[in-house]
């Protein structure tokens, strides 16, 4: 043990994520798969502009965060990664599972812009895989010459997950999106998210038709899967709920 350090220590939350994902289901399983906009609201005393001088020169950021929605469930020695269909288990340290001893997560995101207003700082990002309200405990710039390792071996996650579903929208869902501000952008984001097929692996395949749903910003999205096609059957606006991520 390094001198001066105790067995336990605490982390300070320096900011909170504001994302269009109020629920876990439907969130991309890795960052950068879908360019969904989100933001980080910095908390005092970490919201002073001086702490961010020079950050605008970097295109991407590393975010250290807490899997706060999983803390009460504890941690596990072995987990079942979705990439392996949910049937094979691996040691937790060989995965990016949230059920880790300290529930620490790591994501790389694109920095869209930095907003400084009245002396406070807000970071706008793209490609986050983070639940709304996620606590951020550290931010570091992504440095390409060292953070991107040529020829690295990535085990069972050797390739990026591809889109598995063709997504089409019902006339009713299309009509709702046309009436919303930035409706075309929302439609593209919804299509990209659903195309990744967020269903659990063991619930894919045959069987009776089922309607799936996820919350995206202040929208309830519903879809059905038939073979390799997903039909978005409904887009409902949830009144009184708004997640201002852009």
Spans of all domains in the chain: 15-157, 166-237
Cβ atoms 181, 246 nearer than 8 A: no
**Residue bearing the bigger pLDDT, 119 or 34:** 34
Average of pLDDT values for 80-108?
A: 85
Between CA 24 and CA 204, with CA 177 as vertex, the angle to 5 degrees is 40
Q: What is the pLDDT of residue 242?
A: 52
The rounded mean pLDDT for the chain is 88
126: burial class by Cβ within 10 Å (0-12, 13-18, 19+)? middle
pLDDT > 70: percent of the chain = 89
Determine the CATH number of domain 15-157: 2.40.30.70
Query: What's the CATH number for 166-237?
Result: 3.30.2310.20
Mean pLDDT of 89-107: 89
Residue 158 pLDDT level (bands cut at 50, 70, 90):
low
3-state secondary structure of 57: helix
CA distance 118 to 88: 51
pLDDT of 96 > 90? The answer is no
Closest CA to 119 of 26, 28, 51, 30: 51
Rounded Cα distance between 219 and 23, Å, is 12
As a whole number, mean pLDDT of residues 92-119 equals: 91
pLDDT at 8: 74
User: In this structure, are residues 216 and 193 in contact, taking their beta carbons and an 8 Å threshold?
Assistant: yes
What's the pLDDT band for 208 if we cut at 50, 70, 90? Answer: low
Band (161; pLDDT cuts 50, 70, 90) = low
Q: Are 246 and 124 in contact (CB under 8 A)?
A: yes
Q: Bin 112: left if φ > 0, else alpha if -120 < ψ < 50, else beta.
A: alpha
Q: Residue 13: is its pLDDT beyond 90? A: yes
């Amino acid at each position: 043990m390094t001198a001066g350090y105790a067995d336990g220590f605490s982390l300070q939350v320096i900011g909170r994520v504001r994302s269009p994902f109020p629920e876990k289901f439907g969130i991309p399983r890795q960052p950068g798969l879908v360019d969904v906009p989100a933001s980080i609201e910095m908390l005092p005393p970490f919201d002073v502009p001086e702490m961010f001088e020079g950050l605008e020169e970097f295109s991407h950021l590393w975010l250290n965060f807490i899997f706060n929605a999983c803390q009460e469930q504890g941690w596990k020695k072995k987990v079942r990664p979705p990439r392996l269909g949910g049937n094979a288990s691996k040691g937790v340290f060989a995965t990016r599972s949230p059920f880790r001893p300290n529930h620490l997560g790591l994501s790389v995101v694109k920095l869209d812009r930095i907003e400084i207003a009245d002396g406070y700082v807000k970071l706008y990002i793209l490609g986050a895989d983070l639940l709304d309200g996620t606590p951020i405990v550290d931010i570091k710039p992504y440095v390409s010459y060292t953070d991107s390792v040529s020829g690295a071996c990535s085990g069972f996650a050797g390739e990026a997950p591809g889109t598995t579903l063709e997504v089409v929208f019902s006339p009713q869902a299309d009509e709702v999106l046309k009436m919303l501000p930035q409706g075309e952008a929302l439609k593209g984001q919804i299509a990209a998210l659903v195309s990744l097929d967020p269903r659990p692996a063991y619930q894919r395949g045959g069987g009776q038709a089922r309607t799936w749903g996820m919350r995206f910003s202040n929208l309830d999205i519903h879809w059905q899967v038939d073979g390799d096609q997903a039909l978005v059957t409904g887009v409902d606006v949830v009144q009184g709920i708004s997640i201002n991520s852009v």
